[in-house]
Structure 1
Amino acid sequence: MKNNTIKYKAIKNEEIAEAIIELATPMITASGGDTEIVQALIEIAVNAWNISIFKPAGNDYDTEIEGILPKKLDETKAVLFKSFIKFMIKEKQSRYPDFLKGIKNYKCSIDSGKITLNIEALPVKPAI
């Protein structure tokens, strides 16, 4: 009988939250500290994280990205946000390939410019 070993690193929710904030920092910095924009960026970053743990439906993630874009964006802003989401997906997959938990719920609070992100993550089925 062959014993299959699954290599799966246990990742804490706090580690995922820190990774999301780190990946979103360039856009958060560019927001100028506007709390509403930062909240929106965190929401998009969380959604991008979840997209990144699965293979795209097609050759790329364009279909998935369209599904999480805010609907009221003009074309210029839509292009900017699509670039941000693609950056998040690529960087997550590159820098955090072992972080295989999807995010079920999250809560973001901002106090005096400090972002606190609490997440509830569920493990996804690791590859064997």
Structure 2
Amino acid sequence: MSKYLLNKFLYTVDRDPSLVERYRSDPAGTVAWWESSLGVSLLNSHSGEATTWLRLEDAERAALVAHDYVQLFELGAHPFLTLTLFIAMFERDHAEPLAFQKEYAVRLAHFNLPYPDIAT
């Protein structure tokens, strides 16, 4: 798995409000664009170089496109990165304060310690 690249996607998208909106409205396009342009430039300082670790795994890409934070957690994405990004994207869709955070907790409640490895 390319957990580093997966977490780098979550981190960089979360820190740019325009990317948050782009990812919310066009997840497949945003993931493809980020992986082929921004992700490569953030992690590779030499132009013209390419390695297989600069690509997301199919399962990671599918979970990102589906906004499936439970699957992302299962794949080893850092839970704080998924939580902050998905709050930015979906908290506005809930009427009650902290409603999305509560939904996040409920959907991840079936996990027991030890949690999936989040080391990169």
Q: TM-score, normalised by structure 1?
A: 0.32
Whose radius of gyration is greater, 1 or 2? Answer: 1
Q: TM-score, normalised by structure 2?
A: 0.33
Which has more helix, going by share of residues?
Answer: 2
